[in-house]
Amino acid sequence: MDDHTGYQGDSGYRGNAGYRGEAGYRGDAAAPVWAALGGPAGLTGRVRYGGARGLLPARLPVMDLARTAVAVCALAGAELAAARTGGPVPAVTVDDGAVATAFLSERHLRIDGRAPTAFAPLSGFWDTADGRLRTHANYPHHRDRLLAALGLPGDAGPEALAAELSGRSAKEVEETVYAAGGLAVAVRDAKEWAAHPQGAAVARRPLLTLAPLGAATPPVRPPGLAGDPLLPAAGLRVLDLTRVLAGPVATRTLALLGADVLRIDAPGLPENRDTHGDTGFGKRSAVLDLGAREGRASFEELLALADVVVTGYRPGALDRFGLAPEALAERRPGIVVARLSAWGDYGPWGARRGFDSLVQAATGIAVTEAAADGTPGVLPAQALDHGTGYLLAAAVLRALTERSRTGGSRLATLALTQTAALLTDVVPRHTLDAPDARGAADAFDPEVRLADADSPLGRLRHALPPVSFADGPVNWSRPPSNWGSDAPAWW
């Protein structure tokens, strides 16, 4: 994929001198990222920024990352709308209040007045004999694997886990838990990550790739939008094979823009109810066993009419089901495939599982955001997940625009570590030490960016979408359905 230099735009976004952090800047930071997506030069001039300042405060320029990801996503949606209507690209508005609220959508969610549970008791930072460790055990199978790898009983609690880890090496535990299919990483600072083989591999890669895939095919022109100009993805079908959190954010955004998004999950891997309530807007949810003949046959029927397939499992995990990008393009010429991973599909950690919290711990972000006593910190939002989600949606939308003009299948690849590099490497280093990086924010009430909806899950209070352009949609057309309750069929 590295030979597709026209899409990667590496020289345009790493260390760009025009990119500045939160302190006092709200300029055209989207331009280098838009270039990495292969977007036409000059279109970022259609983006206008505004809203309350100082939101999502951190040492790292989290708000810059957030508004940039949303800006290029909205611009890609506006561009697709223009390509389908034949009109000009609508003006894009990025409101910091809307962006910050959306980047905290899982925290703002209420289901019948109940707030969601963020992290399970065994997910968090732990002291070890030689440093600190971050674990992720929100799902029962990940919790079971963590405890089994450490020789602890299945009902062990935080005290037992802390006692066990206190006498072990963080990096030894990292490898032991990984070998058992669990999730734990040693906390590293930025220099340690840069010296790590995976960190070095990430540093050699661009933010994302968007490249031709398979044989050339004729342009695919969806029906015109003269009668429905608000939904640039209307009539397009998206197969969503993703889980927490970046992938579902991306497909939730495609649903906002009019796509028929059908999420497919395995029957033995149910989704967390709160997570589904947050990311299921606009989509339908079905269960298919791709390891069974009937399930594979149903999937092939869906694929035969699909425009986009989005996968969010670790690289290679779905290949045995015929879901490698090349295999998909061979069976469905003209398909857009978007593939997301935690660590990248390369390097020694390319096949590992991962989540936003673990990537923050491994890449030096947790150390950069540490408290005064050295306790590892976290970003004010799961910004790697949300940021990557909007970048992923932008890549899909750009691919659909290019497909309508020149044809061909396309493959977009993104990783949380690459978004982490955007956050930590692109912005000049002095931003990290800016005295006002954690300064007071403008007065902002997130309630103005929340809405209520009745759903099969109950009464939902949820964040409104931040993606906004002239005459574009302002909310999803439908609330989430119950997980796995929909038929595996297109509308």
Which residues are known catalytic residues?
Answer: 385
Residue for token pair 């959306």: 102
SS3 content of the chain, % helix, strand, coil (to 5): 40, 15, 45
Rounded (5°) CA angle 409-355-130: 140
Integer CA distances (angstroms), 408 to 81, 184, 212, 218, 241, in order: 20, 40, 7, 6, 22
Residue for token pair 């955004």: 253
Q: Which residues contact 186 (CB under 8 A, 6 or more apart)?
A: 128, 131, 132, 133, 170, 171, 173, 174, 361, 362
State phi, psi for 363 to the nearest 5 degrees. -90, 5
Q: Which residues contact 373 (CB under 8 A, 6 or more apart)?
A: none
Q: Which residues contact 210 (CB under 8 A, 6 or more apart)?
A: 4, 7, 8, 37, 38, 395, 398, 399, 410, 411, 412
Could you tell me the end-to-end alpha-carbon distance of the chain, in angstroms, rounded to an integer? Answer: 34
Q: Which helix (H) or strand (E) holds 240?
A: strand 237-241
Residues in the chain: 491
Residue for token pair 């807007």: 281
